[in-house]
Amino acid sequence: MNRTRIKICGLTREQDVDDAVAAGVDAIGFVMYAPSPRAVTVERAAELALRLPAFVTPVLLFVNETSEAIAHACVQVPGAWLQFHGDETPDHCRKIARTLGRRWIRAARIPLETPAGEEAFDLLKYAQDYSDAQAVLLDAHVDGYGGGGKTFNWSQLPPNVNAHLVLSGGLNAANVTDGIRALRNHGHSLAVDVSSGVESAKGIKDAAKIHEFVRAVRAADAEHPL
């Protein structure tokens, strides 16, 4: 089976971490951006990350954070990947990741629609600019940072992106199968990242929704066995 990797982001509670692990996810995201309703402190992220078994990866999400704060977080959460979700430049991401010896993901903020007369978001150039990243995460561009539970138009993306891709932005059990079908062969590989789509309230995950989401991803994978 062509297995799509799954990340659940914005976890704040022990039971949610345990539920996600039990469902079979591959990565857990902790939001290190204080204005977010899903934000946790570095100390809290470290506590929650201790619950992760082998081969489930913690990911620390930062928005325009200082190098010092990122380094401190990495000390507290060994082995975590970095996810840059703000206005960080390629050189900034590259320098931090190399200095700390961490793998990293760069979020691309895809406009919900392209106004008439304006050029569409150039994902090919973006992937080239951030070619040192382990993956490019595709999220909807809304006010502030994060996708806001919005889904962008998947059909606007080019079919030949030179990067591993992570589909995000407004995903849930009802639409993730369509998202995987739409973007399965657009990059080197495809993973999915969900937050609000498996919640009962902001920052509060729902075990049933997590399991339903994972089942939907596996159903999409079963359509294209290796």
The per-residue pLDDT for range 93-146, each reduced to its tens digit, is 999 999 999 999 999 999 877 665 567 789 999 999 999 999 999 998 766 665
Q: Report, as residue numbers or ranges, the catalytic residues.
A: 9, 139
Average pLDDT on 185-200 reads: 96
Domains of the chain: 5-222 (3.20.20.70)
Structure confidence at residue 62 as a pLDDT band (50, 70, 90)? very high
Contact (Cβ atoms closer than 8 angstroms) between residue 192 and residue 164: no
Residue 72 has a CB neighbour count (10 Å cut-off) of 13
pLDDT value of position 195: 96
Q: What is the pLDDT of residue 114?
A: 67
3-state helix, strand, coil in the chain (%, to 5): 35, 20, 45
Query: What's the pLDDT score for residue 128?
Result: 98
Closest CA to 108 of 91, 93, 130: 130
Residue 8 has pLDDT above 90, yes or no: yes
Q: What is the mean pLDDT of the chain?
A: 93
